[in-house]
Amino acid sequence: MPIKIDMENNSNFTSQLLAALDEKSQWYDAEQLPYLLENFRLLHTCVKNLFEFLVKKSLITPDPYKLDKKISDIKSPDSAQFVESERSVIMGQRFSDYESTLDFLCTYYKFSVSQLTLGNIKKLVDLSNAFIWTSFSVNSNRVNTRVLANLVADGRHNSDAMTASMINDSLSKAAHAATEINEFLKKFTDFRREVYKGDVRRKVIGGSGFDSQKAFSSPAGELQQIKKNFAAGMGKVPFFNELIDEIVQEDQGSDKDARQKALLSKLQIEKKSVEKEEESVDTKAMLMESMTCLGAMTPLLTQVTEKVKENHDVLESEHNSFFARLLALLRKSFGIEEKPLYYTLIIVEQTTSAKRKERINYQTFVSDLTTKARRFAALSQKGSSGYNKLVSMPEAKILEFISAQIIDCQKMLVLLNALDEFFKSSVAPVNKSKIKGLKIDITSLKNTVVKANQYRAEYSAYIEEEAQMRKLGIK
């Protein structure tokens, strides 16, 4: 009789437990794991900025086989010691592998409870900590972190203020993203352990070969039955002794009632108070998120500007005589302003596919890109004088300013697209390989502008809703 009662109680507990696990799994898939992906995307952006900076400074040698490598799983870069004379090549390969793995993770990997097994969580933790961004120091006891920190310090030493600011921002955001990732994965690991135990209950204890009478005669009997039926129910999933022991203790331990109650309580979904959230909404902070988002364009704009200049130089070299190049060199040496150079671009309207010509001043366009990068860097850094000046303005003025910046960026993207096509079509066939494409950079810039516009739209919608509520006399 006692065994029958235990079996019935266990059945009720198992039903509640599996239902709670299913509900929380759906919650993680829908609401929490996208947040983890966003932090990995932020980390990838920062790493990509640092990688391109170090390559440009010739401090690391890019992996020549980078594009040929096919990544299908999460693998952290090697961390073995190496001789100082090889740091450029070895760190170039390791940092390249790290960036490529993050790119694979952000582009192709499925962030779901079923995909993130305990083994895969460990891989994510190892990848996140391949470089210790939260303690990024030339004195680090981790080989990769120490060498990379020294390389970054060398590159930053001879960089202009805007580039140095971009590097500092990337390192700061990488540290923030890594902290968020590690905290999330630590919490998620606890939940994933319970999912594992739930799978054992569902597939092993609930399987046809499991003898409940023998299992619930004693804790040792249950353990024996689980071991006997584990492979049939779980396949190649590892057998974790510690977690299996927890199952047995939850079913037959002396404190099983307390364990069961605590477990069901732990699996309850965290409900946020809607009223408290509404009370704490800072509308100006909502609006400034759009400006912060635009600030992420700074390294991309700097990179695009360099590519545009290099493409321009390739094109000019085709029809510049030695005498013309000498004059250009003299003008540069004596600070004499260059003659205005105009490019006629073909603009394709996205909505109608209609084409029109637009003539742009090359020098002015490049200068505008540089100014835009510098402005966004100054205004998006919290605590900077530019940021403080902007945030002190009335919200209507901030909205007006940000709206103007977004519209200006949208026009800039149209011109960059046209300029990319212009360089590719105008250069001689022998020089086509020298032209650096802008499509990937333009896509990244466009995504950032879209995100900034979403923040602006959310702010406007919230303000409009508040106004309507006030008209109706609702607070």
- The residue behind tokens 């390389």 is 151
The answer to whether the beta carbons of residues 80 and 143 sit under 8 Å apart is yes
Quick one: DSSP state of residue 437? P
The values of phi and psi at residue 341, to 5°, are -120, 130
Identify the pLDDT of residue 70.
81
Residues in the chain: 475
Which pTM does this prediction carry?
A: 0.60
List per-block mean pLDDT (blocks of 10 residues) for the chain, which spans 475 residues.
55 88 93 91 91 90 79 90 91 92 90 93 94 93 94 86 82 93 95 94 92 89 94 93 94 91 89 50 83 85 90 82 58 66 86 85 91 85 80 90 92 92 90 88 88 89 82 67
Instruction: Yes or no: say if 317 and 178 are a contact pair by the CB < 8 Å rule.
Output: no
Please answer whether residues 87 and 151 qualify as being in contact, where contact means their C-beta atoms are separated by less than 8 angstroms: yes
- Domain chopping of the chain, boundaries: 2-266, 277-471
Beta strand residue intervals within 146-283, DSSP E: none
Residue 286 contacts residue 399 (beta carbons within 8 Å): no
CA distances from 276 to 242, 281, 293, 444 (A): 40, 9, 26, 36
pLDDT of residue 320: 64
| DSSP code, position 393 | S
Which residue is listed with tokens 């940000």?
Answer: 402
Greatest pairwise CA separation for the chain in angstroms: 105
Count helices and strands (H / E) in the chain: 18, 2
